[in-house]
């Protein structure tokens, strides 16, 4: 890559990122765009070679401009999911993501969701509010229980490591099954139906692609073991949330922690808000102090490869979604 490489930073706050980039690569020309609306004009005026972008707005992402004639040859997605980008021509543009940056935090969210229900945190809070001492209360252990991880990517593997520390039996699905550390059984994605009735806990970590949209519908939820506890950090559209809500109300699903929704922000009129055994979080399982720095540092490492003409890390296959 010759000198004069142009990089566009697309985020709501870019001042620190711009300073870090200029310090690491003073030969690179940098500009910033801090809105979705201004992006097409910024691309047309600057014609960047590379672009670092974080989806900071729930509005439709201006992908037509990014993948158009003025778009970059490399798009570095600051998050993991790329479903907001749709499909792209890999001969014209390379897309990378920040897979692995927030896996540990998302795994903690999932285990925290499980513990919320096994320790009956809502019941403990209610007893405290009532000043009631329930001497007959019992805890429910994770040890010896079966955890099904739907999607053994970066996050799924991080969940498996933590689940093993609790003494759980870990089974999981993967597009291309192979033996994996901390996973007792690795199955093909097509084996999901046979695995659902075995699981005491389910962690949904798969990306949203054509094959996973509606993956866990009403039939799959009905096939789950009564009292199962589920955590979903995938993308809205993988799990049928209306069916999940009904199963939670009926007690077939014992509890769920859900971080992703088909419509975000979740509308105030959504019936999910009224489901008592459902933990709702605002798509924040990956958000923690330092995640943006870690994501941008990964981009800077990849930018070094880009400038030297070396292969990039975390290249996304649009057909697979990861």
The catalytic residue positions are 235, 264, 283
Distances (CA, A) of 127 to 27, 122, 134: 63, 9, 8
DSSP 76-97: EESSS--GGG----TTT-EEE-
Q: Which two tokens stand for residue 239?
A: 């799990």
DSSP 92-119: T-EEE--TTSSHHHHHHHHHHHHHHHHT
Alpha helices by DSSP H, listed for the chain, are: 15-24, 39-46, 63-66, 103-118, 121-129, 154-165, 192-195, 218-223, 241-250, 291-308
Q: Which two tokens stand for residue 210?
A: 């054509």
Q: Which two tokens stand for residue 26?
A: 């003073």
């Amino acid at each position: 890559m010759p000198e004069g490489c142009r990089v566009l930073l697309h985020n709501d706050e870019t001042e620190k990122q711009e300073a870090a980039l200029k310090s690491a690569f003073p030969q690179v020309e940098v500009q910033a765009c801090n809105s979705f609306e201004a992006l097409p004009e910024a691309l047309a005026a600057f014609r960047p070679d590379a672009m670092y972008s974080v989806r900071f707005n729930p509005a439709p992402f201006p992908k037509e401009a990014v993948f158009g004639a003025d778009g970059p040859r490399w798009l570095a997605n600051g998050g993991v999911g790329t479903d907001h980008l749709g499909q792209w021509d890999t001969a014209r543009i390379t897309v990378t993501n920040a897979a692995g940056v927030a896996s540990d935090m998302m795994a903690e969210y999932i285990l925290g969701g499980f513990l919320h229900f096994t320790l009956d945190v809502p019941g403990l809070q209610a007893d405290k509010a009532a000043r009631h001492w329930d001497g007959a209360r019992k805890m429910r252990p994770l040890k010896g229980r079966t955890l099904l991880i739907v999607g053994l990517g970066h996050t799924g593997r991080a969940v498996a490591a933590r689940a093993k520390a609790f003494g759980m039996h870990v089974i999981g699905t993967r597009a291309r099954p192979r033996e994996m550390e901390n996973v007792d059984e690795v199955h093909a994605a097509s084996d999901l139906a046979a695995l659902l009735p075995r699981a005491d806990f389910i962690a949904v970590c798969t990306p949203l692609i054509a094959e996973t949209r509606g993956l866990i519908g009403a039939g799959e939820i009905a096939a789950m073991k009564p009292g199962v506890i589920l955590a979903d950090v995938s993308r809205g559209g993988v799990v049928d949330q209306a069916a999940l809500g009904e199963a939670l109300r009926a007690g077939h699903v014992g509890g769920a922690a859900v971080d992703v929704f088909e419509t975000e922000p979740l509308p105030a009129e959504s019936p999910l808000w009224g489901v008592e055994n459902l933990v709702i979080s605002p798509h924040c399982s990956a958000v923690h102090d330092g995640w943006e720095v870690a994501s941008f540092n990964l981009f800077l490492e990849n930018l070094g490869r880009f400038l030297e003409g070396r292969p990039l890390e975390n290249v996304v296959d649009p057909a697979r979604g990861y």
